[in-house]
Amino acid sequence: QLKKLDLAAAAAHTFFVANPTHLQMREDMAKYRRMSGVRPQSFRDLETPPHWAAYDSGLELLGRQEAGLALPRLEEALQESLAQVESCRAGCEGPEEHQREEEEEGAGSQGGLYEAIAGHWIRVLQCRQRCVEETATRPGRSFPVPDFLPSQLRRLHEAHAQVGNLSQAMENALSVLLFYPEDEAAKDALNQYQSQLGEPRPGLGPREDIQRFVLRSLGEKRQLYYAMEHLGTSFKDPDPWTPAAFIPETLREKLREDQEQRPWDHEPPQPKPLTDWKDVLLLEGVTLTQDARQLNGSERAVLDGLLTPAECGVLLQLAKDAAEAGARSGYRGRRSPHTAHEHFEGLTVLKAAQLARAGAVSTQGAKLLLEVSERVRTLTQAYFSPERPLHLSFTHLVCRTAIKGEQEQRMDLSHPVHADNCVLDPDTGECWREPPAYTYRDYSGLLYLNDDFQGGDLFFTEPNALTVRAQVRPRCGRLVAFSSGGENPHGVWAVTRGRRCALALWHTWAPEHREQEWTEAKELLQEPEQEEEEGDEEEEETPSRDPSPEPPGRRPQGVQDKTGKPPRVREEL
C-alpha cells in the first residue's frame, strides 16, 4: 500500500521461506514477480540465520571454483553454526511449561527430590542433543541437512588444499576423523597432505573447538543411554556418527528395529512392485511410488506404470480427435468451468463410443478408454477396498489448455481446492456430505497422460484449503488415487503453457450409482463386430436377401437401448 515494492517482496519471501506450503503467500509471490518494479534481488530472506547466510554464500563461491573467496565464508559458517548450537543449548535449562502444568493439575507420579532432579537433567540433555538438528534445519524445512558439521569440515579441508593451505587442510581432515575415525576419504586426504608437507609438523592436530564439541556430546550421549537402559527413558540420537560402543548391548537390537521402522528422513524409498504391498498380481510393471505417509495424509497413493507411452499417445489422440469433432466438455457445455484462462475439453466414455461408431475417432482409442478405466478401478479396489467391491461412478477424459495471451497477471488455479464427495468449508475445516456434492463417491483417481506442459501439478491441502501438504507432478501412466472425502482436499495449479490431459475417475461402493454409460459404451463398441458376424451368417443362409447396411449414424434396433430411449450423455462434474 505504501508502494514500497522492494520491502514488500522481501517480506513476502521471508514469510514464504518459513512457510513454504502457504498457498496464499505462494500466489502473492507470483504476483510480485510479474510486477515491473520488483527486481530479482528483492526476493531476499530478512531473517536468514547468520550460519545459513555464510554457508550458502560459501557453497556458491565453491561452485564457481573460487576456493580462496569461499574459505572465509565457510569458516564463518562453521563458527556461526557452533555459536547457534551454544545459543540453543542455553535455552534448554530452566523449567518446562508442560511440566509445571502437570504439577498444577496433580498429574503424573509423585516422585521424590532425586527423581525430580534426574528427570529434569535428562530432559536438559535430550534438549541439548536436539540442538544440532535444529541448527542443521533450514527455516521452513522439516528435516535437517545430514551430517551438517562434518560436511562443513570436509569442504573446509578440500578448499584449504586447493589454495595450498596444507596445515589447515590437515587440521580439518583430522577433525572429520573425530566424527568418523574410519573415514577412508579423510584418511587418504590426510596421507596426501602429509606427503606434500614432507616432514611432520609438531603440535598439528584437530581443531580444538570441534574436539570440545565431540567430547562433550559423547559424554551427554553416555548419560542418556545409561538412563535409557536403567530408568526406562527415551532418546532418539540425532547423530549418525555416535560410536556403537556407546550404546549398551541390551539396547542395540531395539534401536536397530526402531531405525528400520522410522519414516525416511532425507530420500524417499525406492518404488516397490505392486505385489509387495498387496498379495495380488494385477499388472506387471506397476509400482507404488508414494503411500499416504509419504504424501502427508491418509487414504492417498501414487502409482506409476499403468500406461505405456504408446497407450498414452492413443488416448491423447482420442481426446484431440473428439475435440475437433465438436465433443462437449461434459460440464454443461462451458468452455472453461473453473477458469477463464484455460480451454477445457472433456470426453465421456459413451460420447467416445458414439464418435467411434460415427467414424470421428478411432475405435481403438474408445476401446482403450474403457479398458484403462477398468484397469484403474481394479487397482483402486485392490489397494483401498479389497474386501468391498468398488464400481465406476463416472469416467471423464479431460484436457486443459493454457490460452495464449491470457496468462499474464494470472492469480487463479486451474481447479480450485475442493473435496469430491462433500462441500468443503475452509473457514471451519468442516466438509459437509450433502448436495450439491456427489455424496455417493467414495474413491477418486487421476490417471495422467502427459507432462509436456507448464504448471498443472495436483496438490493436497489441509482442510483450510491454504496449507499445501503434498504435491504430485503428472506424467504418462501415473495414477493418483485417494478417498473422496474431506480428508483429501485437493486442487490443481494453473496450467500456464501447453495442454494437460488426464483421465479422471470416481468410484462408489453403491451399486445403484454405478456408471450406466460405461455399459452402454461397451455394448455400442461391440455392435460392429456382432453385425459383421451376423451378416456373414445371413449371407450364407439367404444369399438373395438385400445385404445393404444400416445408415452410418443409425443404431441397430436389436441393441438400441433396453429402455427404448435414445442414448444420453450425462453431464456431471
> Residue 168 burial (CB < 10 Å; 0-12/13-18/19+)?
buried
Q: Are residues 75 and 60 in contact, defined by beta-carbon separation less than 8 angstroms? A: no
Cis before 435 (ω within 30): no
Which residues make Cβ contacts (< 8 Å) with residue 330, sequence separation at least 6? 346, 347, 348, 351, 396, 569, 570, 571, 572
Instruction: Give yes or no: 568 in active site.
Output: no
> Residue 518 burial (CB < 10 Å; 0-12/13-18/19+)?
buried
Catalytic residue among 410, 441, 500, 514: 500
Q: 3-state SS of 264-299? A: CCCCCCCCEEHHHHCCCCCCCCCEEEECCCCCCCCC
* Other Cβ atoms closer than 10 A to 475: 14
Question: CA-to-CA distance for 161 and 167, rounded, in angstroms?
Answer: 9
Q: Is 358 helix (H, G, I), strand (E, B) or coil?
A: coil
Q: Is 520 helix (H, G, I), strand (E, B) or coil?
A: helix
Question: CA-to-CA distance for 70 and 57, rounded, in angstroms?
Answer: 8
Please state, in angstroms and as integers, the Cα–Cα distance from residue 522 to each residue in 338, 356, 513, 530, 569, following that order.
Answer: 30, 12, 18, 12, 14
**What are φ and ψ of residue 162, in 5° steps?**
-65, -35
Written as nine digits, the cell of 77 is: 559458517
Closest CA to 485 of 434, 438, 447, 442: 442
Q: Are residues 38 and 12 in contact, defined by beta-carbon separation less than 8 angstroms? A: no
Catalytic positions, written as ranges:
500
